[in-house]
Every structure is written in structure tokens, then in C-alpha cells.
Structure 1
Amino acid sequence: MTTAHFFNRQTLHLRPDPSRVLVRPFRPAVEPRDLNAVDKTRANRIVDRVLALSADQVAELLAVTLENFDDRHRNLPEIFERRANEMDRIFDSHTSLSKAQLQLIGAYFLHEYSFEAAALFNPSIVPHPDQSNLEEGCGRFILSLRAVGEGHISSLTFRTGILACDGTVTIAPPARLAGVPTVTARLGDRLEIGFDPASDISERVIFPITDMQANGIEDARFVAFEDGGKTTYYATYTAYSGQGIRSELLETTDFVTFRLAPLRGPAARNKGMALFPRKIGGRYAMIARHDNESLHLIYSDDIHEWGLGTAILTPQFPWEFIQIGNCGSPIELDEGWLLLTHGVGPVRHYSIGAVLLDKDEPSRVIGRSREPLVKPAPAEREGYVPNVVYSCGAIRVGERIALPYAISDTFSTFATLKVAALLELLKAGMETP
């Protein structure tokens, strides 16, 4: 990796782990194959076969199934039972099902999925709600990552870590188990979902739920949003159906219960929206790209409604001639808004740079990197998508910026940058060469 001289790479790599699995619905499909359709007749034949078993056979088969899978999932009997209840509208009328029959039927309509078997990339980061028992200048954080499994289906997974006072980053190892949330409320594509509060945050996987998300919840850009003394964690992300995309918004205060809703307006038809961490002039503000190459500043009175904004940054240097995008939400400094960017150059070569926006008028660029902070190098550029370094967000901790980023859309790593050195570089970039 070619980097700026003050770009301090950490010696940690977060790599995909195919042993981490969750259970997801199995739907006996109709022909021609439709992943969202269910062959009701075939589903009922499966149920009839289970009901033809004696009570002893049901008990024995359920016990064997649980013995085989129970140590891989939390509360598996409950998951089996919930799945059978979800399928109730598909089944013909079956009365007087025992608990064992219900659970065994549910087991037949689930399958394991290795949600991060292919890639673990495009990380974002926010301060952890719990900053207790840390030395001054250190910070605890929550890291989100895009996990990709079979079929290029993307989901959202989490880690926690600490940036120590000396600039060292440590990441807590993930829990062995993983699971999806329960949908607690649903109105069209607006969802409320929740996890078991006793679960570790690394167990919680937000897997596609709606038809619009069917092929992925991609590239979540998290931000700790401050308003009236209250912190709400928002994330803009891309919902991908397999045919089209839409920007959506995730909201949480505790990383246990989440609300997910589509964004509206012309800007929501594109990828890569990043919310400012507070209102500016009493309005929400967003960095977005809707012309395929430039960054725009958008204001809105409604966090769910986004029109077209004003172009503030266009390609200028060779490493960004194809397009510019954001690498997450702007970071507020005394000197202005620090916005990390990605640029696309020859052979779709992705690099990471930065700009500084005016604190009061963020449409005004007051600092810019002429060269990338980090770009792919021959020694480390192979992967799921070669020649890419990419991030969905960074944070400031004391005198440093903590930047998680992905390499070749395959695995993730970390770097830290001294704020003072970065500001000096950005201001120098605005001077006439």
C-alpha cells in the first residue's frame, strides 16, 4: 500500500471467517426459479411427511438435529418454532401440532448461511456509548463491516475496539455465535428490529429483510448524530434488490433495537450518502453524489427526504479523474469539516484522499489533498475486487483520526493519522503549485 508519510498502518487484519454462520429461511421455490416465491404444494408435502412420523420419531429426529446444530446458534429451538409460525400462512390447515412437531417443521424450512465467507470490508466506525474505564486520550468504538457470503449477499456485522493513547488499535475477537434480529414492527418497507440484549454486539447481524434489500445491505456509513444533548446513531446504506438500488436509513440508540426506512427524493436513487453529525443552520445536511462523478452538499428539513444539492467537489487530480465519492460522514474539527474521500483513477484504481470544508459554509472547500493518503500498491492489491482501498467512515480520538478501511473488497485493516499533520497537508494542497 502506498501511503502518505504520516499514515500509520496498524498490524491487524479483519478477514472473512466462513465458520461464522446464521440460519436463514429456506423457501421451496417455484419454477421458473423465484427466490421470493414459495411452492405451497411442495411446502405442504414436506409438512405432511413430518406429521406422518410417530411422536417418538419426531422426538428422536429433533434431538439429533439439535445435537448437530445447537452449539452453532443461540436459542435454536425458539428459532425453529418461530420459523414454523412464519410459514403458517403457507401451510394448509394443520391442527394440534405438538411443540416438537412445530420445531421440527421449522427446522426443515431453514438453512445455515456463512454470511462472511467471501469478504469482510467497507468498514465504518462510531464512538462506543460506553467510554468508561479508559485513560485520557483513548477511545472505545463500534465498528460496522459489510459481510458478503454465497451469492454476493451483503449484510451488516459489528465489532468493538479501543484506540489506545499511543495510537494502537485493538479489536475484540468476535463471538463464536451469530444471529439475525426479530422483526418487531413492520409497515411496508419501514421496519423495527431487535436483538437479544444479552447477546454480544458481534453476534448481531442485520441481514436483508425486505424485497428491496434482497441481495444486500451495502456500505453502511455510520455517524453519531448529536441533537439537543441526545446521541442517535444513524447509518445511510444502499439496499440492493438484485435489479435496482435505493438509499435507506438505519437508526439506533443502543445497537440492540434498530429502525430501518427508505430515504425519499431524487438523491435517494443513488449510492454513497453520508450524513453530517449535527444540523447546520437548523437543517440536516448530507454529502451525496448524483451525477456519477462529483460530490454535492444537500440540506433538508426532513431526515428522510433529500433533493438534489449543490456540487462542491469535482474531479481535479489524475487519481480521481473518473469520479469522487465520500468515505463516510464529515468529522467536525475546530478548523472545519474533515471529509475523507475516495477517488477513481486509471483501470478503476481506487484511492483515499481528504478535503477540509468550511465550518459555517461547508459548500466552501478550504483544504484538499493533491495526492492520495493511501492507494493500492502491487504487493497488496489482489482480492474480491482488485485495486481498491475504501472506507465508509472514520472518527477522531484525541489528536488522531482512526481510519478503518478495506483492501480489494476482501478484508479490512486500520490506520491512524495525526490531525495536525493532516491539516497541514490539506491546507498546502490549496496553495498554487
Structure 2
Amino acid sequence: MKKHPTPVLTAEQVPYNQDKPRSCVFNAGVAKIDGEYLMVFRNDYEYLKRTLFSGTNLGIARSQDGINWSVDPEPIITADIIREQWAHIFPERFMPSEIRRVYDPRITVFDGKIILCLAMDTPHGVVGAIASTTDWKNYECLSISTPDNRNMVLFPEKVNGQFLRLERPFPIYGRGKPEAFEIWSSKSNDLRYWGDTRLVLASEEVPYSNSKIGPAAPPIKTEKGWLCTIHAVEKVEEELNSWHDNWKKIYHGGLILLDLEDPTKVIGLAKEPLIRPELKHEIEGFRGSVIFPCGMILEDNNEVKIYYGSADTCVGLVTASLEELLDTIEPIN
């Protein structure tokens, strides 16, 4: 595996919000469409105090090689855009007027259609949304989950005739253990109504996590199974580098392998993290020691590009051969 030594996208490359100090770009969904790399990134701007920013939007960057990126002149998604475009499909009492923030995008290209999985903050909980677009200007709402759910990723093809997604609900009371969240799956016939929900991987099954886990980038299909990245949190005693106090979590990027015919079944797990926070831009930033994979591209030559949020501040990149990644995974009986 090879880490790119510096971030591939930083706040300095974003042409808007430059008058807002201490901004971050991270947790970006990435896809390759007609030979062009597209990155939809979260842009938190104007850090105020503690863990608060004055605003969040989603921007889009483009690249010919997956390494050097240029950012479009305006953001493509804001809370105002979603509120306006989705106003006709929700009762005024609740949605969409109460959408406060849209963030953490994931991209899946499905039969030529661009599908986005998004997180949205509301006064009544965090919901996961699925939307489609053809022009990066208009967004059709396909589905919104109940609170609290996020980190949704959509499989790039139907499995046994159904759409499939991975997700991470985060119950506080039912689990009985703070921040012990897991990876679940749900199925749908139309991308709108979801059900047949199953637990896929529990947090205690990941050796390098003593806290929550969750899906990361949309899966890629291999001969051996569906290759999936995950994020896994390790709580530590010492305080880590951060813009705010009391940050004591290390986020690792890991790998699991799901059965091709039944992706609710984990057939393999890498017992060690694939990506650990080691470089300066990974251990220093808004929240240091955070690795959060969000995009994974399988190239024609079997090279895999994995893009990750780094310290909740910028976007990093690692590359490896598909064979190298699969070799890290140990079978689960």
C-alpha cells in the first residue's frame, strides 16, 4: 500500500468561503465517470468554538488523474438548496424546513445514474437521505430514513434483484453501551422503501476498535466477494491533537469482505487496520488521528484508489493493488 504524502484536497483549493477562517474539506465521496474523477466533498467553514462551524456545504472537484483536483466555482449542495427543492414532498410542520445541515456525501454510479447518500441534521435527529442527480444542480429525493442513521453507502448493482445499502444506526438507549454502534444492511425494490434490515458486523468483532464502527466507501465487487472499507474507533486515555479540547478518539480505516450472493454475511476481515493515522496531516487538524474512508475506485489495471477524510480537515489518498488488499483479509468461518 502506498500513501500519498500530502493531501489531495485542502480548504485552500476551494474558491468560495475564503473569507471564513479555519475551514475544512473532508469526508468526500468519489466516483469515476466517463474517464473523469469526480469528488463531492464536505466543506465546513468558519470555525467558531468548541466543535461548531458557522456553515456547511458540499462542493465538487474534478480530476483527470485522481490526484490533482480543481474545484468548481460554487458549492453544489447547501441546506437551502435541499429545503427549496424538496419542499413540495414534505409536510411544512417538519421536513424540509427543519433541515439544518447536509454533509458526508457518498457517490454510487448505478446504471449510469448518479446516486448520493447524504447525512442531514435536524432538530429531531440525524437522518440518512438518498438522492439522485443528472446535472449536479437538481436533486431528486429518493428516500429519507428515520433518526438516528447515517454513513449510508449503496452497492453499485442489485443483489438478488434488490438494491442494497450498508448503514450505521446509532442508538443510545437500546444498545446499553455509549457509542458501540454497528454496521447494518437494508434492502429495497425501488430505492424509496427500505426494510429486511440485518446486522452485518458488530463493533466487538473488530479487534482494533473498542467503540463504534461504520461503513465507509461504497463497496467494490471482486471475484472473492464484496470488498468494503469500514471506519473503526479506538478510544484512548490521552488527549490527542485537536482544535478543541478533550479529543480522545483514534479513527482507523479497515477492510471486510462480504459474500457475493448474500452481502449481509461477512466472510472475511482484516485483523489490522488498513490505514492508520501516521502522517502530519492525519494526526494534526480539527480532530487529529482521524482516518475516514469515503471513496474507493477500482481501476482497469486492478489498482485501487481509496480516498479518506484526514483529521476532519482535508482529503488523503492511498493506493494498492486489489490483490494486496484481498491478501490482508482473513477468512471468517
Does the alignment reach a TM-score above 0.5? yes
- Alpha-carbon distance change, 312 to 262 in structure 1, aligned in 2, over 3 angstroms: closer
1:348-375, CA deviations, whole angstroms, 9 ceiling, x for partnerless residues?
A: 2100001111111112222211000111
- Which residue is equivalent to 1:173? 70
TM-fit CA distance, 1:307: 3.3
- Which residue is equivalent to 2:41? 145
Q: How does 1:40-55 map to 2 (within 5 A)?
A: none
* Corresponding residue to 1:212 among 86, 98, 102: 98
- Which residue is equivalent to 2:251? 350
- Which residue is equivalent to 1:307? 195
CA distance in 2, matches of 1:354, 1:394: 12
- Which residue is equivalent to 1:126? 31
- Which residue is equivalent to 1:234? 115
Checking the alignment, whether the CA contact within 8 Å between 2:76 and 2:136 is kept in structure 1 is no
Structure 2 unaligned spans of 5+: 47-52, 172-179, 237-248
Match of 2:153, as an amino acid? Answer: A
Report the secondary structure of 1:188's partner residue.
helix
- Which residue is equivalent to 1:365? 266
Q: How does 1:5-404 map to 2 (within 5 A)?
A: 6-9=1-4, 11-17=6-12, 20-21=15-16, 118-128=23-33, 130-131=34-35, 140-150=36-46, 151-163=53-65, 169-175=66-72, 177-178=73-74, 186-188=85-87, 190=89, 210-214=96-100, 216-226=101-111, 231-241=112-122, 244-260=125-141, 262-264=143-145, 266=146, 269-290=148-169, 291=171, 292-307=180-195, 309-315=197-203, 316-347=205-236, 348-377=249-278, 379=280, 380-398=282-300, 399-404=302-307
CA distance in 2, matches of 1:306, 1:9: 38
Checking the alignment, whether the CA contact within 8 Å between 1:9 and 1:415 is kept in structure 2 is yes
1:8-47, CA deviations, whole angstroms, 9 ceiling, x for partnerless residues?
A: 435443111397336xxxxxxxxxxxxxxxxxxxxxxxxx
Report the secondary structure of 1:236's partner residue.
strand
Checking the alignment, whether the CA contact within 8 Å between 1:10 and 1:415 is kept in structure 2 is no
CA distance in 2, matches of 1:321, 1:179: 37
TM-fit CA distance, 1:239: 0.8
2:327 is the alignment partner of 1:424: yes
Match of 1:361, as an amino acid? Answer: D
1:92-116, CA deviations, whole angstroms, 9 ceiling, x for partnerless residues?
A: xxxxxxxxxxxxxxxxxxxxx8579
Checking the alignment, whether the CA contact within 8 Å between 1:223 and 1:275 is kept in structure 2 is yes
Checking the alignment, whether the CA contact within 8 Å between 1:20 and 1:115 is kept in structure 2 is no
Checking the alignment, whether the CA contact within 8 Å between 1:190 and 1:261 is kept in structure 2 is no
Checking the alignment, whether the CA contact within 8 Å between 2:44 and 2:55 is kept in structure 1 is yes
TM-fit CA distance, 1:295: 1.0
Q: Which moved more, 1:291-300 or 1:231-240?
A: 291-300
Q: Alpha carbon RMSD of aligned pairs, Å?
A: 2.9
Match of 1:161, as an amino acid? Answer: S
Larger radius of gyration: 1
Checking the alignment, whether the CA contact within 8 Å between 2:59 and 2:74 is kept in structure 1 is no
2:323 is the alignment partner of 1:412: no
CA distance in 1, matches of 2:136, 2:20: 19
Aligned residues: 296
Report the secondary structure of 1:178's partner residue.
coil
Structure 1 unaligned spans of 5+: 1-5, 23-112, 132-139, 164-168, 192-208
Checking the alignment, whether the CA contact within 8 Å between 2:294 and 2:308 is kept in structure 1 is yes
Checking the alignment, whether the CA contact within 8 Å between 2:129 and 2:144 is kept in structure 1 is yes
Bigger fraction of residues in strand: 2
Tell me the TM-score normalized by structure 2. Answer: 0.79
CA distance in 1, matches of 2:137, 2:195: 31
Identity of aligned residues (%): 22
- Which residue is equivalent to 2:241? none
Report the secondary structure of 1:156's partner residue.
strand
Tell me the TM-score normalized by structure 1. Answer: 0.62
